Amino acid sequence: MSKVEWYLDFVDLDYTPGRDELIVEYYFEPNGVSPEEAAGRIASESSIGTWTTLWKLPDMAKRSMAKVFSLEKSGEGYIAKIAYPLTLFEEGNLVQLFSAIAGNIFGMKALKNLRLLDFHPPYEYLRHFKGPQYGVKGIREFMGIEDRPLTATVPKPKMGWSVDEYAEIAYELWSGGIDLLKDDENFTSFPFNRFEERVRKLYAVRDRVEAETGETKEYLINITGPAHVMEKRAQLVAAEGGQYIMIDIVVVGWSALQYMREVAEDLGLAIHAHRAMHAAFTRNPRHGISMFVLAKAARMVGVDQIHTGTAVGKMAGDYEEVKRINGFLLSEWEHIKPIFPVASGGLHPGLMPELIRLFGRDLVIQVGGGVMGHPDGPRAGAKALRDAIEAAIEGVSLEEKAKESPELKKALEKWGYL
């Protein structure tokens, strides 16, 4: 058998996948080989194959060969659908899944570009994942917020606050109406602001604001770090009565996230997923891994909310893509609970009606600069944001609402509308 025939053995366009196969969709551009051979090479390298024919295949290897069952032209390249027998995958091990379906294939010379677009785990595979502990319903319950979007603010600048300065800002933000204080992604623990001291002081402030306002307030505290450090930090958060942890899920990787999902369950903590570094592989539509795949896998593991983009703010990610991801995160999916999409990046009060019109109320809205840049400070910024959201929900125009909200009026003067 020639090498090409060997690769074509992984292609059968008449094949109908079984219910217990895992389907993966790829976009690819062949480099000097036929589209069939290129697709066959993807299926081969991501399942059982190597670069040459072999002297022998054990029975299980033969049964585990992935099959390209659909191949269609798309733009500059092709879309292939590949069926993977479950014998290829370890139960409940997302790290292993990605080392197969998003592994060596990205480096193959036979492809100019390759993008992992989507994957469809059958129930037999999915059942080994717990998904989120709380999800939308659980979070709405513990926050006591029935049907409006949740609000969050990252104190900006991203860095440089002492614990006492940070506690003061937190007091202002929470008192002004923000539900969730959020640490920035690169803000963890420093000589001028140690995590342990921040935990102690910030939850005390939270308790005070809760008593004063009668509202539930939470803190998306950034525990990101090596797994053993994250575990200790999560224990501290739980000991101080925190309900949430924030993890930057791409930089920590699937292994650490799966580990922390277990820790979070033991401690009763919800997980806020930030996604710094995702754009290194999600941004080029012809290469890498789609944000949809990242969000789907994170939901499987069990984050309770994840950043997905805004379409109207400062980050890349167009409306259609964000809409599709958010729709998926909120949909029913076997035993895996729906989770909150987080809209963040370049938002300000003037954008609220459009944001809510586009994505609805099941949303966490994070506004950093657009609150912290308010001419009258964070409390006024928080109030302006809350009023803008209220207006959007009541169906009142921002101009109208601004007549009774001087904070909103000033925010609109500074940042305008859409």
Q: For residue 163, how many other CB atoms are within 10 A of its CB?
A: 18
How many residues sit close enough to Mg ion to count as binding (CB under 5 A)? 2
- Nearer to Mg ion by C-beta: 229 or 276? 276
Task: Name beta bridge partners: 11.
Answer: 68
Alpha carbon dihedral 199, 203, 204, 205, in 10-degree steps, equals 110
Q: Is 156 a catalytic residue?
A: yes
C-beta of 339: minimal distance to ligand CAP in Å? Answer: 15
- Nearer to Mg ion by C-beta: 45 or 185? 185
Contacts of 203 (CB under 8 A, 6+ apart): 219, 240, 241, 242
Residue 77 is assigned to a ligand binding site: no
- CA 261, 242, 361: angle at the middle one, nearest 5? 75
179 touches, from ligand CAP, Mg ion, none (C-beta below 5 to 8 Å by class): none
| The one-letter amino acid at 396 | V
Residue 68 is assigned to a ligand binding site: no
61 touches, from ligand CAP, Mg ion, none (C-beta below 5 to 8 Å by class): none
Choose which of 17, 135, 302, 368 interacts with ligand CAP (CB under 6 A): 368
How many angstroms separate the CA atoms of 296 and 270, rounded? 17
369 touches, from ligand CAP, Mg ion, none (C-beta below 5 to 8 Å by class): ligand CAP
C-beta of 158: minimal distance to ligand CAP in Å? Answer: 6
Residue number of the CB atom closest to ligand CAP: 368
C-beta of 184: minimal distance to ligand CAP in Å? Answer: 5
Catalytic, out of 120, 156, 323, 409: 156
| The one-letter amino acid at 238 | A
Residue 41 is assigned to a ligand binding site: no
**Is residue 248 near ligand CAP by the rule CB under 6 A?**
no
CA distances from residue 129 to 21, 126, 248, 384 in whole angstroms, order as listed? 16, 6, 20, 41
**DSSP-based three-state secondary structure for 188:** coil
Residues 348-367 that bind ligand CAP (CB under 6 A): 366-367
Q: Is 274 a catalytic residue?
A: yes
Choose which of 25, 37, 185, 304 interacts with Mg ion (CB under 5 A): 185
Read off the tokens for 167: 């506690």
Residue number of the CB atom closest to Mg ion: 184
Q: Which helix (H) or strand (E) is 213 found in, with range?
A: helix 195-213
**Is residue 184 near Mg ion by the rule CB under 5 A?**
yes
Catalytic, out of 274, 278, 296, 348: 274
Residues 153-182 that bind ligand CAP (CB under 6 A): 154, 156, 158
Q: Which residue has the tokens 């998904």?
A: 131
How many angstroms separate the CA atoms of 390 and 406, rounded? 15
Q: What are phi and psi of 336, to 5 degrees?
A: -85, 115
How many angstroms separate the CA atoms of 388 and 271, rounded? 27
Task: Name beta bridge partners: 343.
Answer: 365
CA distances from residue 303 to 198, 297, 316, 337 in whole angstroms, order as listed? 23, 9, 22, 10
Residues 314-333 that bind ligand CAP (CB under 6 A): 314-315
**Is residue 184 near ligand CAP by the rule CB under 6 A?**
yes
Choose which of 49, 344, 356, 380 interacts with ligand CAP (CB under 6 A): 344
131 touches, from ligand CAP, Mg ion, none (C-beta below 5 to 8 Å by class): none
C-beta separation of 347 from 395 below 8 A: no
C-beta separation of 45 from 108 below 8 A: yes
- Nearer to Mg ion by C-beta: 184 or 218? 184
Choose which of 17, 131, 149, 309 interacts with ligand CAP (CB under 6 A): 309
**DSSP-based three-state secondary structure for 103:** coil
Choose which of 17, 177, 345, 381 interacts with ligand CAP (CB under 6 A): 345
Q: Which helix (H) or strand (E) is 145 found in, with range?
A: none
**Is residue 248 near Mg ion by the rule CB under 5 A?**
no
The rounded Cα 70 to chain-centroid distance in angstroms is: 29
Tell me which residues are annotated as active site. Answer: 156, 274
Extract the annotated binding site for substrate: 158, 275, 307, 344-346, 366-369
Extract the annotated binding site: 158, 182, 184-185, 275, 307, 344-346, 366-369
Q: Which residues bind ligand CAP (CB under 6 A)?
A: 154, 156, 158, 184-185, 275, 307, 309, 314-315, 344-347, 366-370
Q: Which residues bind Mg ion (CB under 5 A)?
A: 184-185
